[in-house]
Amino acid sequence: MIPLVVILGRPNVGKSTLFNRLLKKKKSLTHNLPGVTRDNIYGEVIHEKVKFALVDTGGLVLEGEDEFEKEILVQAEEALSDADLVLFVVDGKDGLTPQDKEVARLLRQANKNTLLVVNKVDGFEQEDLLISDFYGLGFPMVAVSAAHGYNVRFLLDQVVENLPFVQSKDNIQMEEQGLKLCVLGRPNVGKSSLVNELFGRKKQIVSSVPGTTRDCVDLVIEKNGRHYILIDTPGVRRKSNIEGSLERFSVLRALKTSKRSDIVFLMVDALEGICHQDKKLISFLQREHIPFIVLVNKIDLLKENELKRIKEEIAYELRFCSYVPVVFTSTVTRAGMGSLVPLAEKVWEKSGIRISTSELNRLLREVQHKHQPPIVRGKRLKFYYVTQTDVYPPEFVFFVNNPSLIKASYKRFLENKIRNLFNLEMVPLKIYFRGRS
């Protein structure tokens, strides 16, 4: 069952405007339909791949005497009893009213997880002035303008952060269908042997279904009671007499298959090291932020001093994506084979890590205190706040005074800080900078 988020508040504070704004904010809205009563309206929202039900209730008048107001209260209390999170909406321009205090008392008695949403705050400059009245209510607070969209995305982030554990679309897909693995590499690096060693012979294949591209096949494989989807890439294995044609064709296959994969195994020939074609595939995977693991195969054919040399060479070639796991393997001796599937699952798990906004901003304050950003063109970069906006892979947005002041070196510095502090090694990170407006 998906979690339920209920919007509550006295009349005319903008609850319905907020409801419509939250539903229309993301194109991932699944449906919006009237509830079983005339007063409660239901919809479903998917934000950051987390789905939740949203309920808009009528304006609460706790001491109401007419039947209409009593019916609204009954329906609101029924919704409240099932709520996993309550959005308590107040009017920032009206300030705190006695009716707001009564609604707050009701919520405290219900002992529900609550976010106080101060509506009709039209910008950052108004926040301090309009929200000060509401601190005494004791609820975590977010200032928004439902009519103009100010801070609504941040509110959605806070909703997701305050929900009980829910499964993302990706996790549900993984459990129901299987983790999608793709093996890429040049001809004759041992891809077919790898598949057989990892998952056994054809007797282990429980089904075969057509892939989304004309010449790719998805193999649904069972191993240790779990299912995995192996995205086969016959195109990468084709030989060609023209190196340029092979290169273009292989990269095209990588583009089509890797984007459907959860984790990519990129196989490299230990005898040849990382060649030009491998670099193109690495560049593509890095640019697309696709989690991948480099497998350096055929180490059984290397002498000890040659293995040391190839390890140094691989480390040098991957210096700009040093977070990528590297495993040295042999499909002949099975060296490294046993660690690959557990490693893929670990990388996938880390890709879904979500970090609270408060933790991120604590890091931001520490970074600004110890490592001020460099002055660019006589101007210094100023950070306002940072928030995580997506998972699979993790995505972070820094709100700053001027994004053009960001240097690539400082971006890498921030990425490394996030990666090291929050245990995000092995996965790509998306980092963006936006002006506050």
**Binding residue positions for GTP:** 9-16, 56-60, 119-122, 185-192, 232-236, 297-300
**Range list of H helices, 267-320:** 276-287, 304-317
**Cα 226 to Cα 193, 221, 223, 349, distances in angstroms:** 21, 8, 5, 15
Tokens of 152: 């609504």
Beta bridge partners of 267: 185, 295
Q: Cα–chain-centroid distance for residue 290?
A: 13
Nearest to 220 by CA among 254, 262, 190, 180: 180
Q: Other C-beta atoms within 10 Å of 95: how many?
A: 14
Helices 357-370, 408-421: crossing angle, 10 deg rounding: 130
Inter-residue contact 266 to 281 (CB < 8 Å): yes
Sequence letter at residue 18: L
> Residue for token digits 């301090």?
128
Sequence letter at residue 3: P
Inter-residue contact 179 to 263 (CB < 8 Å): yes
Nearest to 97 by CA among 149, 62, 143: 62
Spatial neighbors of 37 by CB under 8 A, at least 6 apart, are: 71, 75
| DSSP reduced 3-state for 307 | helix
Provide the residue count of the chain: 437
Tokens of 113: 């997880």
What's the CA angle centered on 319, arms 302 and 326, to 5 degrees? 45
Tokens of 109: 């008695």
C-alpha to C-alpha distance for 100 and 94, rounded to whole angstroms: 11
